[in-house]
Chain A
Amino acid sequence: MSSAQQLKRVFALADANSFYASCEKVFRPDLEGKPVVVLSNNDGCVVAQSKEAKALLKLWMCRPWFEIEEEALRLGVVPFSSNYELYANMSNRFMTTLRQISPRQEVYSIDESFLEMTGITRNLTDYGQEIKRTVKDWTGLPICVGFGHSKTLAKLANHCAKKQMQWEGVCDLTALSERELEAILGQLPVDTVWGVGRRLQASLATVGVENVLRLKRADPKRVRDKFGVVLERTVRELNGEVLIEMEEMVPEAKQVMSSRSFGARVHQLKDLEEAISYHASNASQRLRSKGLYANAVYIFIQNSPFDKAEYYGPSCTVALPCPTDNTLQINKAALWLLKRIYRPGIYYQKAGVMLMELVPKGGQQQELLGYSEATPKAQALMETLDRINTKYSKGMLKVASEGVENAWVMRRGFKSPNYTGDWGQLRLIK
């Protein structure tokens, strides 16, 4: 069998450890080995923990900060408010570094990236260690790398690299014999598999599929009949078949994106504003249809890499004062960003808006004073807007683009400076 086999595909997943907390630590080497937590907008709840913080108390994740602040500070935990500008910048660095290692890259989320490794003949564990070391040296970020014959297996390998100490941060499942592999899979609960959530885990448990090995050995046809094609695909991928190609799988609601190339090149700010405003409205509507709120807005504009002029493709991110699905607010943020990156004299070919850091609706904190558009009234306005736009043509009701000064004040009591995005906030050094 193996002799007739073609070159087996190999994928890597590189994933930063406790990404937000690690970004903060890069600029605070004094916090090495100390428990660090990162709080959501308005210092609402814990959204990220360093491994030291995880070890202290597992249940802090998603807990409201005001409930645990006293205990956390007593234990020496160092809190940070979300600094999405910094995290986006560090993410760029991480991804750019990986791209120099392997050109076939799929950026899967802010802190993880698939790399195609097919045909690489050297020892993958060594190679993974080199990738890990390079990212650490260049960006300061600690990462783990997993290798597998499918993206699902690479993701699983990454999970092992992260959770099981013996791998030292790099797990190559392709180097294992079938027996060794199955011994490992037999120890892993099914919800460690990419795409298997808690609900699916529960229904799999009712048919006796409790660990990954059981899932791998399941009959694909029966899985399809009972659970659908998506899980069937997962089963096949666990067996080393490649069904999810690079850049094919969509991350479930990690971000919502609206973008489009222009019919003809566009160079005036006014035209770009219209485009960005359109995408912001579009993405917001999509967000509402999913029952999600965004914590940050990201926009990009670019000229064509195939045009003769030098490539110009800036992007920019801003955190929202509180999580929102409100078109007006998102629109304001997007246009405010556009003003920061627009340069005249460039013939733009594409623009887009991405909503990031999505959280389920409900239970959000509102601003106590002043700025709050997520009131019942605003909610009703959005619903009406969506109804009319659904009933009549899309974009029937639009937002008249307006200015945004002062809109971006929010409580970020523990926010680190914008070390990488503002000359005035660089790290001071003696």
Chain B
Amino acid sequence: MNTFHQPALPKILEVPSLNPLALPRPIYSGKVRAGQSRFPSPAQDYEQAELDLNKRLVRNPPATFFFTVSGDSMIGAGIFEGSTLVVDRSIKAKSSSIVVAMVEGELMVKRLYKRGTVVKLLSDNPAYAPITLTEGQELIIWGVVTYVISAAA
């Protein structure tokens, strides 16, 4: 019988779909020889793993989400209409972090400003005024923007 009730979701869930295509590394690097080594290839030391953008851009996969930017309020930070934001929820927002935040029911990307009790959300575009939080106004920091991906061609 091959059909059975699985006690648990199978192991494959260990590689979450959020990290879908890890680029393959070369399987083989240099000759392996049991016993005494002869002359290893001089190129061996220079052989490198393929670079994997997932590993570069996603530090903590279960906590990383992507957003698409609309509007130009953050162009000074290199965030343009259509840019993809890599957002990590596991990072603590500091003053000057670029954050995904919610004020008054609206989700937005802004630069966080904190000095003592003063909390503001700043745009990186002089055309937009800063949002200063007044007392009793709730600010939810959804996550911290760790990378911005923009098309250049």
Contacts and interface: CB of A to CB of B under 8 A. Distances in A.
B55 to A, nearest CB: 11
A282 interface: yes
A430 B25 CA distance: 38
Interface in A116-141: 137-140
B15 A93 contact: no
Contacts, number: 164
A263 B15 CA distance: 23
A92 interface: yes
B17 A89 contact: yes
A255 B25 CA distance: 35
A29 interface: yes
Contact of B106 (A30, A91, A286, A343): A30
Interface residues on B, range: 35 or more
A92 B2 contact: no
Contacts of B12: 300, 302, 313-315
Interface residues of A: mostly helix, strand, loop or mixed?
mixed
A96 B108 CA distance: 27
Nearest to B104: A30
Contacts of B108: 429-430
Contact of B71 (A300, A308, A309, A430): A430
Contacts of A137: 63, 89-90
Interface string B6-17: 111111111111
Interface residues on A, range: 35 or more
B14 A108 contact: no
Nearest to B52: A310
A249 interface: yes
Interface string A199-221: 00000000000000000000000
B18 A92 contact: yes
A314 B15 contact: yes
A107 B13 contact: yes
Contacts of A314: 12, 15, 17, 20
A138 B63 contact: yes
Contacts of A138: 60, 62-63, 89-90
A429 B21 contact: no
* Shortest 7 CB-CB contacts between residues of A and residues of B: A138-B63, A257-B6, A30-B105, A92-B16, A93-B62, A250-B5, A300-B12
